């Protein structure tokens, strides 16, 4: 699997308590395509992204990655599939008291046996450290290779998270609000970097963003979501202000609703 697309057909997700997070969502992302998800908090963006690597299963409908229906995959294959999807959150999912190199190396665990992973993490071969170094170089923090991760700034940690996803040698990158905790300049840099990396390596990219401006500027295709439904799905250039008004013109009960 070099690069993988996503196909969602008739997907509904209902959480306990009968709250529908996604209703009848159809979405097809071609291999190598970059898609931005926009919409207010609670629209179902996070839920949708969690479906893409099988962290969440749909209540109805089907999710396919690289042509394989996730529901039909035996655990071993599901694990193999996950190891090929790089997921980037903010910067909280790194181990703060480990060195950067270890955090990045941990991206490979999904494709290793227990013994293999012990060897990689405790006695990393020079070849692998070299690879980690090259990836860090690409994301601009090569000098932090042996730094303790908690000594890095928020923006630098985020790049460590991106480097870990790249070290997975992924077929697709999925990023959930990757920049909601950094300042606008860094946010722009990070999203641009993600888009660039995916173009360079022919990776599929699905990223959810709060900032409309960033999404319009850096991503070719935008999917607008509201109340668990896809409101629009069009090239960024074709979207007008009216579309975004429709997206964010919240009703009072939506303002109070929490994100999911």
Interface residues with another protein (CB under 8 A) are: 53-57, 70-71, 73-87, 89, 92-98, 102, 106-107, 109-112, 114, 117-118, 121, 164-165, 168
**Least CB distance to another protein at residue 25 (A):** 17
Contact indicator for 219, 213 with CB cutoff of 8 Å:
no
**In this complex, which beta carbon is closest to another protein, that of residue 54 or of residue 140?**
54
**Least CB distance to another protein at residue 239 (A):** 31
**In this complex, which beta carbon is closest to another protein, that of residue 235 or of residue 259?**
259
**In this complex, which beta carbon is closest to another protein, that of residue 162 or of residue 215?**
162
Q: Kindly give, in sequence order, each residue whose CB lies less than 8 Å from that of residue 42, ignoring residues fewer than 6 positions away.
A: 227, 254, 257, 258, 259, 260
> Is the torsion defined by CA of 232, 235, 240, 245 positive or negative?
positive
**Least CB distance to another protein at residue 54 (A):** 6
**In this complex, which beta carbon is closest to another protein, that of residue 100 or of residue 218?**
100
Q: Kindly give, in sequence order, each residue whose CB lies less than 8 Å from that of residue 238, ignoring residues fewer than 6 positions away.
A: none
Say how far residue 19 (Cα) sits from the centre of its chain. 24
Closest by CA position to 153, among listed 189, 124, 122: 189
Q: At 171, list the tokens.
A: 């077929």
**Least CB distance to another protein at residue 93 (A):** 4
């Amino acid at each position: 699997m070099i690069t993988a697309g996503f196909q969602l057909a008739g997907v509904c997700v209902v959480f306990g308590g009968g709250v529908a997070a996604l209703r009848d969502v159809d979405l097809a992302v071609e291999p190598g395509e970059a898609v931005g998800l926009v919409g207010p908090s609670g629209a179902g963006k996070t839920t949708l992204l969690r479906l893409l690597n099988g962290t969440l299963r749909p209540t109805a409908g089907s999710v396919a990655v690289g042509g394989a229906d996730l529901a039909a995959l035996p655990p071993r294959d599901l694990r193999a599939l996950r190891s090929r999807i790089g997921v980037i959150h903010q910067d909280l999912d790194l181990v703060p008291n480990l060195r950067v190199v270890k955090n990045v190396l941990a991206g490979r665990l999904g494709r290793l046996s227990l013994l293999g992973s012990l060897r990689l993490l405790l006695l990393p071969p020079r070849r692998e450290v070299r690879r980690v170094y090259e990836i860090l170089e690409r994301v601009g923090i090569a000098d932090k290779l042996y730094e303790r991760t908690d000594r890095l700034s928020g923006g630098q940690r985020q790049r460590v998270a991106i480097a870990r996803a790249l070290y997975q040698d992924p077929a697709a990158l999925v990023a959930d609000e990757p920049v909601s905790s950094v300042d606008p300049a860094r946010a722009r840099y990070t999203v641009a970097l993600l888009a660039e990396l995916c173009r360079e390596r022919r990776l599929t990219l699905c990223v959810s963003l709060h900032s409309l401006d960033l999404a319009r500027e850096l991503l070719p295709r935008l999917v607008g979501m509201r109340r668990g439904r896809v409101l629009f799905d069009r090239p960024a250039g074709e979207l007008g202000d009216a579309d975004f008004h429709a997206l964010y013109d919240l009703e009072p009960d939506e303002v109070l609703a929490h994100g999911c």
